[in-house]
Amino acid sequence: MLENKNILLGVSGGIAAYKVLDLCSRLKKRNVNLKIIMTKSATEFVNPLSFETMGRCIVYTDLFSGHHEEVHHIELARWADLMLIAPASANTIAKMAHGIADNFLLSTYLACDKDVVIAPAMNTNMLKAKATQRNLKILKDDFFSQSNTEVVHSLIFCQYLKTQTHLFSPFPKTLLESINKYQDIKQTK
């Protein structure tokens, strides 16, 4: 059940970013509390105003802009029940796997001690590249070592590896269904 959950959505650069607008709409229809972080490259594909409109929330793009009465990347990580990174570009996945925090999204990811769901989306050759597969394995191993819910992480994580060539057509609907399954399984444990 997603209703009233706090989901922190991280949008990285890639053409699939426009599909995440539909995901925002679907999440809001399920009464999800949403906050969004976009990387600079994501803003080259979709304007942050589009995400603010569809997500009905503030969109964070720059770690160093705005007022700093709170440390935003820490507070957002605390606020979230779940962090969802969609689309997760090859660049973002590589940086996540190696602890590089050179933007708002990655700094928040490292500060987040909640469950993290990633939805890899990129060209099939990029996804199949040895470096990308190695980085995904690092993340998968990290997720498993931090959680008792290996089945849940595997359900979310592997679905996108298995359906890599279908990411662009059913992406928002399939991702939303996976997150729902994840929440259902987590509530029964």
Q: What are 36's strand-pairing partners?
A: 9, 59
Cβ-in-10-Å burial (0-12, 13-18, 19+) of 49 comes to exposed
Catalytic annotation present for 158: yes
Cβ-in-10-Å burial (0-12, 13-18, 19+) of 65 comes to exposed
Sheet strands (E) in the chain: 6-11, 33-38, 59-60, 82-88, 115-120
From 24, 57, 112, 158, active-site residue? 158
CA distance 31 to 148: 28
Catalytically annotated residues: 158
